[in-house]
Structure formats: structure tokens, C-alpha cells
Chains A and B, each alone.
Chain A
Amino acid sequence: KAGVTQTPRYLIKTRGQQVTLSCSPISGHRSVSWYQQTPGQGLQFLFEYFSETQRNKGNFPGRFSGRQFSNSRSEMNVSTLELGDSALYLCASSLEGATGGAPLHFGNGTRLTVT
């Protein structure tokens, strides 16, 4: 079974621009979560989508948004990029979401650098 696929692997953007990251979950997984990983803050939860609906949301500004398509693929968008948005963005999928101890399956991430 193919794992979680994130594209692109690397991105370099300029302050003020916007960016879209893509995530294809493991086949059959309906839940997709997004995390931001930085050396200073560690792993921070952004949001979770389940069956095309945002089910949980972390404490990030409205510049961070996401969506999920009917095939469970997900995208996240960051508008008006700031230098502090430079991070590794990780996508994780799960069969039914983070319920009952179900583990998350992570992709290899998208490394975003904002200059």
C-alpha cells in the first residue's frame, strides 16, 4: 500500500506570497491532519479534515486554511506568507481520525522556506 504522499518536497517563497501544499493519504484513510514542525515550537497541530469537513482546528491564524476533496486528498493554503511560516509541514492520515488510539501515518513533509 502506498504511503502518505506530500508534494512538493521543497518550496521557496517570498514574504507576502501565498502557497498551496498537497497531501494524498493512504488509500482508504478518510482523515487527514496537518502539522507545522519548527525547531522552536516542535510539532504544532493545524487542522484535521474528515470526509471533506474540518473536524478539528489548532491555534493558527486565518491565513492558514485547508480543504479536503471527495477522494480524501487534502490541500493546505497559507496566504500572505511571513518569515515565521518557514517550517516543515507534515500531513498525516488515519483510517477514522485520531479516535480510539488510532495512530497517524505521516508523509515526508514539505519544507517551506520564506525569504
Chain B
Amino acid sequence: AQSVTQLGSHVSVSEGALVLLRCNYSSSVPPYLFWYVQYPNQGLQLLLKYTTGATLVKGINGFEAEFKKSETSFHLTKPSAHMSDAAEYFCAVSDGAGGSYIPTFGRGTSLIVHP
């Protein structure tokens, strides 16, 4: 069965600093991987996704993530944090095992950006 673990329920960075949000997954078959962002009082918005091909995936707002099969990881990074990046970030995995591609979401990581 697929599962996702996001390390750290809260991550705090200074504006301009590197952002690193960690995601590890478990899947019996090659998965599809996603990062979503949720701003207060809003739904989730897709940041980026990995399906096949290049392991470094670029998303919106300067975010990118690298798929590392050997480490079963899909960490999200951004070189320089901005105040507007403060939000909840969710990693999700979808592997189609059992015929269903319904994604499983991690518990989320709240990104706090200090001025």
C-alpha cells in the first residue's frame, strides 16, 4: 500500500533562506508524486508533479523537487524563501496499485517565513 511521510510538521526559515521540505514515500510500484500548497482558507493548489522522465521537476513559484528512487524521497526545495511562501505544503503519492489512482496525502508541513 502507498504511504507518505512528511518530516517535520513545521519548518521555519528566514526570508531569503533556502526552503527544504522533506517527503518520503512507500510504494510497491513506480509512483506518481505531487506537491500541493494550501494557503489559509483555501483549497490545495498543485505546485508540481513527477510522472516519468526527468527526476528534477520544476514547479510554480520557483519551487522544484527531485525524485530519488533509491531513497524513496521527493523533497521540495526553493533557493530563496519569500514571505508569500508561508503556507501548508502537502506531498502526495499515487501508484495505481489495486487499480486505484486515488492519491494518498502526507500530513502536511507548515512553512513559516520570518522577515
Contacts and interface: CB of A to CB of B under 8 A. Distances in A.
A and B are interacting partners: yes
Interface of A: 4, 6, 33, 42-43, 45, 48, 56, 58, 90, 92, 97-109
Given A98-B94, A101-B51, A106 B101 contact: no
Contacts of B105: 42-43
Contact of A42 (B96, B102, B106): B106
A37 to B, nearest CB: 9
Given A103-B34, A108-B42, A43 B90 contact: yes
A108 B90 contact: no
Contacts of A43: 90, 105, 108
B34 A99 contact: no
A108 B49 contact: no
A104 B44 contact: yes
12 contacts: A6-B43, A43-B90, A43-B105, A56-B102, A90-B43, A100-B32, A101-B51, A101-B101, A102-B101, A105-B46, A106-B36, A109-B43
**Chain B interface: which size bin?**
20 to 34
Contacts of A6: 43
B108 A42 contact: yes
Interface of B: 32, 34, 36, 41-46, 49, 51, 90, 94, 96, 100-108
Contact of A33 (B41, B42, B49, B102): B102
B103 A104 contact: yes
B49 A103 contact: yes
B41 A108 contact: yes
A100 B101 contact: yes
Given A42-B108, A43-B90, A97 B43 contact: no
Nearest to B6: A42
Contacts of B43: 4, 6, 90, 92, 106-109
